[in-house]
Structure 1
Amino acid sequence: MTAGTRTAVSPWFVRPPSADHPARLFGFPFSGSGASAFSAWPTVLGAVEVCPVQFPGRENRLAHPHFGTYENLADSLIDPLLPVLDRPYAFFGHCAGAVTAFETVVRLAERGLPTPQVLFVSGQPAPHDASRDRMLLMSEPELRRELEIFLRGRGIEPRPDMVEMGLSVLLDDHAAAGRYRRAEPVTIPCRIVVVHWRDDPEVSLDELAGWRAYSASVDFQVVGGGHYDFMDAPDELRHLLSGWR
């Protein structure tokens, strides 16, 4: 493949990964969101190409059937990922996206396929603690209010049609989160970097400690900002994500 060429278009990626960079970082969005969660990120961090992953059932894949469970989602990701695991890579998952990223690593390892050098997990307790998410206990009206607050926090006035569409995705994603159970930790063959947001009211640093059981190498990094500030790709996060190679 010559410089400047890209792999074939896949609905799982908002843009085809290129052959111009020596490493890739795949971004996994949080519940209720899609690859647009990474729209403010640069396309390249140092020498690392940023490759946002687009889950079915949202944004430009709204017509595609919802994945149903994290396990189904991780299973479905293997084939589209295979052609682009031809160089060193890392996964970054925020909130529930970290669980999907983790489950994908588990499946890659089980099949003897290349695994990431680093799994970055942001603002998300370990898989065996995932059911503690307070939002899983919210009613539909409460989730609607949360969505409106989130949109206003991003500088977007929540139109009714926008809220209803977003709520539909969020409800499906939360149903998947409610079905997810991993009772016991399982060790994965890559380093885990746990990112804690200093001003995150959703997840404390202590609540992230469970990730220690999932790898022989687990590092905790505290960065400035709140739960959704990763979307702005702040400098501290950029530095962390460009320095793993």
Structure 2
Amino acid sequence: MGKCKYCGKPAGFLRTKHKACEMIYKEGWKKMLNLAEKAFTTGNFRSLRGQLLEIAQNHFRTEKDVEDVLTTVWGKMVDHFLDDGNLDEVEEEKLVRFIKETGLSVDRLAGKDSYTKFMKGRLLRKVMHGEIEQFYEPVPVILGKSEVPVWVFQNVGNYEMRKCREYVGGYSGFSVKIARGVYYRVGGFKGNPVEKTELTHVDEGVLVFTNKNLYFVGQTRSYRIPYKKIISVIPYKEGIMVYQDAKTKKPQFFELDDVWFSYNLLVNLVTLEKD
């Protein structure tokens, strides 16, 4: 005789649940989610966890489910606040207060995309107001005096404009059959060499934003671009192109996973350094 995985009572031969218990279980999630979303609207968070725990106990839910609901709703509000591309101080305060008053674990949030979005939105607002906040994770560069890391992108593709030569024309001579469907062409190659410029992948590495410089640390090369030398930053779908105020310096293209954030961060850091 099988037991119901929700209530623990006999469920019948080869059965693992009661339909009624499953309905109660599903209804519990909806009730908790609706309550948490309503609390975010009203701003009353102090009693929220207790109310969610009461619902959980009456609907075969656990404390983990309560944490999941709180995390889900917090993430939804981050997306809502950042819908206009800006996280203002009032919105940030509400998100922070939600975490504190519900006892939501920051460690649990830290691995979520919503928390990364929150940190990016917070950082951009501060930089736009002339404030620099240090990025506390280790960075693979030796920083200068009064220089602090601001953000780090991993797995960044580095490209630059390079000239390459190709031959335009055709073959002369004849073909010798080697095997079925395969030919080896013999004779000279006719045509003229043509030079062109194209974006070429040169390395993969880490891109470090500080308050003074942009660093790229790759597998085969590493370099620094001072903000005072940057004259233009152009965003593309896949990344950003950085132009320097020097004839000998080639434009550098960085392929990364958040173009909007990297572009806005770099432009504001460059402006702040040049002011």
- Specify which structure has the bigger relative contact order, considering alpha-carbon pairs within 8 angstroms and separated by 6 or more residues: 1
Q: Same fold (TM over 0.5)?
A: no
With structure 1 as the length reference, what TM-score do the two structures score?
0.27
With structure 2 as the length reference, what TM-score do the two structures score?
0.25
The structure that has the greater radius of gyration is 2
